[in-house]
Amino acid sequence: MKKFSLFILSLLFCTGYMSGADWNVYVARYKQDKACAISYTFDDGLAEHYTLVAPQLEKRGFRGTFWICGSNINKDNRNITDTTRMTWPQLKEMSDKGHEISNHGWAHKNFARFPIEEIKEDILKNDSAIFANTGVMPRTFCYPNNNKKAEGRRIAVQNRVGTRTHQRSIGSKSTLQDLEKWMNTLIETNDWGVGMTHGLTYGYDAFRNPQRLWDHWDQVKVRENEIWVGTFREVASYIREREETKLDVVNKKNTLLITPELKLDQKLFVEPLTMVITGKDIKKVTVKQGKRKLPVQVTGDKVLFDFDPYGDVIKVTLKSRK
């Protein structure tokens, strides 16, 4: 019997899921236990990403990921060499507002057409430029021309949370009905959708009339209780952390002691995770991680709270209506 009990405890530790007579404990698939996630990504640093896209995202409380090529970015408003591109101060402003400014290669070099040393220099140079101008080191990468040649990919993934390996075009060929179907499918399948486009009114795959995209975002906003709109870095980091986090759960009547363990690089993977506890007739819940009291959301028989997967033991005190 003792060996069997040790086996069960070991199983619970490995899976991060605890099932007992009263409570079930696990890490939510997505932030705040949303049904799916969507990241909206925009390539090449076009000027209208600043004038049109970012304000429309912010209007709805969303943030996007903007993959830029540093060689095309204008120094500032007084030094415009390409009127179709943003300036570094504009990118800094967007970054300060929570948008992700990340790496699309300094000069958009196709991995299949250049020596690996040139590709490496191109990637690192863009990292340095983005960090110097925004104060935030890019931790994701978007492959120029969508070429993922294995040798170049091994360099691109270094010191990254993730790279864009799958995406769905949301540009010129998409209708509002197509985008609605995509949204509904993501909700039904609990998937992560990565939307990708370049221009809005000009450039590759442009919408021509961006109202279609604004209307789509209105549809997403209506269902934001089911959809997490996060930057590419946020969602990629959350998913990897969720997959790697182990929970050791000790159930003492109406008190749960939950010890999280995560061995990823804390400088790269920085997203808090959402814990879910389910049980019957929940009346009152208090949660502390170490000495810090955590905000808690109770809906019906479900408890949600965000926690630090690298942090101290979590103490959950639950009271039921019984």
> Which pLDDT tens digit goes with each residue over 248-286?
999 987 899 999 999 999 999 999 999 999 988 788 899
Are residue 29 and residue 79 in the same domain, yes or no?
no
The answer, yes or no, to whether residue 16 has pLDDT greater than 70, is no
Q: Of 8, 3, 18, which is closest to residue 247 (Cα–Cα)?
A: 18
Examine the pLDDT at 172 and tell me if it is beyond 80.
yes
CB atoms under 10 Å from CB of 300, counted, come to 9
137: domain CATH number?
3.20.20.370
In terms of domains, do 216 and 287 share one?
no
Note whether 65 and 162 are same-domain residues: yes
Does one domain contain both 83 and 156?
yes
For strands 192-197 and 36-43, give the pairing. Answer: parallel
Question: Average pLDDT in the 40-58 region?
Answer: 97
Q: What secondary structure letter does DSSP report for 244?
A: H
- Judged on CB neighbours under 10 Å (0-12, 13-18, 19+), 19 is middle
Q: Residues 50-67: pLDDT tens digits?
A: 999 999 999 999 999 999
Which residue carries 């000027």 as its tokens?
47
DSSP states along 270-297: ---EEEEEE-SSEEEEEEEETTEEPP-E
Question: Do 78 and 180 fall within a single domain?
Answer: yes
Residue 14 β-bridge partners: none
* Long-range contacts of the stretch 250-256 (C-beta < 8 A, 24+): 251/18, 251/20, 251/22, 251/23, 254/22, 254/317, 254/318, 254/319, 254/320, 255/315, 255/316, 255/317, 255/318, 256/18, 256/23, 256/25, 256/314, 256/315, 256/316, 256/318
Could you tell me which of 271, 273, 280, 277 has the C-alpha nearest to residue 297?
277
CATH of the domain at 248: 2.60.40
Please report the pLDDT score of residue 311 as a whole number: 95
Give the ranges where the chain is alpha helix by DSSP (H): 2-15, 47-48, 54-59, 88-96, 116-134, 150-156, 176-189, 211-222, 232-244
Specify the pTM. Answer: 0.92
pLDDT number for residue 197: 95
Which range marks the domain in which residue 51 is found? 36-224
CA–CA distance, 135 with 58 (Å, rounded to integer) = 21
Residue 165 placed within a domain: yes
Between CA 173 and CA 37 the distance in angstroms is: 22
**322 pLDDT band (50/70/90 cuts)?**
low
- 99 found inside a domain: yes
Output the pLDDT for position 277.
95
More confidently predicted of 143 and 112: 143
191 & 309 share domain: no
3-state secondary structure at position 196? strand
| Dist CA 112 CA 296 (whole Å) | 50
User: DSSP string spanning 50-64?
Assistant: IIIIHHHHHHTT---
| Same-domain pairing of 210 and 153 | yes
With beta carbons less than 8 A apart as the criterion, state whether 229 and 38 touch.
Answer: yes
Which DSSP string corresponds to 85-99?
Answer: B-BHHHHHHHHHTT-
Given pLDDT bands bounded at 50, 70 and 90, which one contains residue 112? confident
Question: Residues 89, 136: one domain?
Answer: yes
Dihedral pair phi/psi, residue 179, rounded to 5° = -70, -35
Q: Which residues contact 107 (CB under 8 A, 6 or more apart)?
A: 69, 71, 122
**Domain termination site, one of 166, 192, 224:** 224
Phi, psi for 249 (deg, rounded to 5): -115, 125
* Total domains in the fold of the chain: 2
Report d(CA 46, CA 202) in Å as an integer: 9
Residue with tokens 């220099």: 121
Give the span between the Cα atoms of 147 and 149, in whole angstroms: 6
Residue 304 falls within a domain, yes or no? Answer: yes
Work out the pLDDT band at 157, boundaries 50, 70, 90.
very high
Low-confidence winner among 45-54, 111-120, 188-197 (lowest mean pLDDT): 111-120
Shared domain for 204 and 265, answered yes or no, is no
- Determine the Cα–Cα distance for residues 14 and 313; give it in Å rounded to an integer: 17
Looking at the structure, do residues 202 and 255 belong to the same domain, yes or no?
no
What average pLDDT score do residues 19-28 get?
77
Q: Is residue 239 part of a domain?
A: no
Q: How confident is the model at residue 6 (pLDDT cuts 50, 70, 90)?
A: very low
